[in-house]
Structure 1
């Protein structure tokens, strides 16, 4: 059991972020344990074809015991909605000593794989090589999927912000994950790794919550000295790789027409126009026209999250879909 003690100031400084760098680092585990990450298998199949002759053996060697990933790749981003290039610049500035220490912490005493061991003797050069390799890896297998991934992640941020506004910290933490509980100023994570039993004071450092696509369970930094950050599975991860539209609604189709009924059924969670267009195999312009009608009818709502505009069903839309 891991416990994070939050006082009033820590709650006031609780923030939500996303991190393309962390997604890149966490995705490395899928190659090593594909059947553990069943929801991400469609990505792995496409990534295998897209990788070409790029050798990612050095990157895979970074994944340590219990699927651990070095903290310098999964730490707090400087911006709540950063781009990958900015985060990669941060990697290039990591002190060589910290890079080597974080890698050894992830290995948990296990000898470094041969492809990594030599680099640890010259950590500054290793850091630069890893940054270049991460850039190539991102361009090959993640950049094409990032707009849709970002849409799901930003939708989760919007959902959490709405929960916080409606019910404070108790409602915010209530459905982050079954392994997470909030009670009497303590955020408890029912995890045995990376710390079998530890209480971490958050005081003065604030708490950051980070939804992620490439995780199955919540996680924290390996070092308790790192700024407190809890990553957790984002809502709607399965829809990132979904391409077929949902089953056609029945009576609702006759009422509002097939395109609008199908679009309304797609909005199980907040989504962008681009995401919806990909899922339905139509143009963003067509989606925008139907969304405008549904919004005028009070069936969907919209809100801005960073650079995206997210649409979601209203309670009226939910009732109409259930009834029809």
Structure 2
């Protein structure tokens, strides 16, 4: 059991943020152990196929995300410094990591180390630049097509937590995080696989980061010099990869049934040919509808080799998630 002790100042400084970098790093453990995470099967199959088709060597990332109980080195995915979900900012922080933090983070924790990790240790400045570039490339292939959907879920959880805070203060906010987390007076108790003992937040507050790929665990950071952080699964993560192909009539009346059907089909990114096969439309018809939807800011294309995969934008997610009244 990990116990986090709060003061009044800690409660005042507790905040929420999203972290695309952490999602990328946490997703690696899912890809490395696919049989343990059936909930993510649609994503595992599609992301794995795209990484293989592209030929991206993501071995360094895999080396830096060891199986439990070994910890992920803190410098690989530190707490976000801004509430904005901006991968570029987080990668800039990663590139600027002090050399001594890299060496301290790798010291003995990844033993036996691979040649790739040894190269990072030997030349941290160059290795950090290569790691940041690798994360960016991995993101484009494995996560960018899904990010609008993920972000919509994560931001929905942040709004939910904000409402709890407004309604009942810190007691409501901290008492409703996860079944593995319990709030009692001035102490947050986390049922943790590895971390033990009591940590005082010492006026730094707690950073709460909802995370799709944290499921089904809660991850914590209590290292000196870092913002104390709790990464927890958001509400609704179990339904994130479910297909939602029904067409909402009010939406169909506004943008047309064919376009509404295409939006519903894009629960997972798909090519024009795939969408034609699913919907019965001709490839040319699908292409025309996608052009209109793209111009309206409802879909976006992601190139993977010779193919372009289309995915919904956050605006489309909002439209589809909105309650429909008759």
Q: Same fold (TM over 0.5)?
A: yes
Matches within 5 A, 1:212-251: 212-216=211-215, 217-221=217-221, 223-245=223-245
Aligned with 1:73 (options 72, 76, 79):
76
Change in 2 beyond 3 A, CA 1:229/1:222: closer
Given the alignment of the two structures, is residue 210 of structure 1 paired with residue 209 of structure 2, yes or no?
yes
- After the TM superposition, which of the residue ranges 96-105 and 183-192 deviates more from structure 2? 96-105
Gaps of 5+ in 2: 253-261, 269-274, 276-288, 294-313
- Aligned partner of 2:44 in structure 1 is 44
* Structure 1 residues 59-208: aligned runs within 5 Å: 59-66=61-68, 68-104=71-107, 106-107=109-110, 110-193=111-194, 195=195, 197-208=196-207
> Which secondary structure state, in structure 2, belongs to the residue aligned with residue 80 of structure 1?
coil
Counterpart-to-counterpart distance in 1, 2:166 and 2:267: 30
Aligned match of 1:6: 6
Cα distance in 1, alignment partners of residues 241 and 130 from structure 2: 30
Q: Deviations over 1:65-112 (max 9, x none)?
A: 5163221233221211231111111111111221222233653xx221
Distance 1:157 1:188 in 2: 21
TM-score (norm 2): 0.74
Structure 1 pair 61/106, CA: closer, same or farther in 2 (3 Å)? Answer: same
Q: Does the Cα contact within 8 Å between 2:182 and 2:189 map onto a contact in 1?
A: yes
- Equivalent pairs counted in the alignment come to 272
In 2, Cα distance between the equivalents of 1:206 and 1:307? 33
Distance 2:50 2:17 in 1: 28
Report the secondary structure of 1:144's partner residue.
helix
CA distance in 2 between counterparts of 1:45 and 1:219 reads 25
Partner of 1:254: none
Contact kept? 2:243, 2:265, Cα under 8 Å: no
Please say if 1:259 is aligned against 2:258. no
200-209 vs 15-24, which deviates more? 200-209
How far has the Cα of 1:28 moved from its partner? 0.9
CA 26–224 in structure 1, closer or farther in 2 if over 3 Å, else same:
same
Indicate conservation of the 8 Å contact 2:29/2:65, yes or no.
Answer: yes
Any idea what SS the aligned residue of 2:23 has? helix
- What TM-score, normalized by structure 1, do the two folds share? 0.74
Q: Distance in 1 between matches of 2:204 and 2:149?
A: 31
Partners of 1:149 and 1:275 lie apart in 2 by: 16
Give distance in 2, aligned partners of 1:28 and 1:137. 10
Structure 1 residues 98 and 313, CA gap change in structure 2 (3 angstroms): same
Q: Is the 8 A contact 1:65 1:106 kept in 2?
A: no
The CA distance in 2 between the partners of 1:142 and 1:218, in whole Å, is 21
Contact 1:19 1:82 (C-alpha < 8 Å) held by counterparts: yes
| C-alpha distance in structure 1 between counterparts of 2:40 and 2:213, whole Å | 7
Equivalent position of 1:54 in the other structure: 56
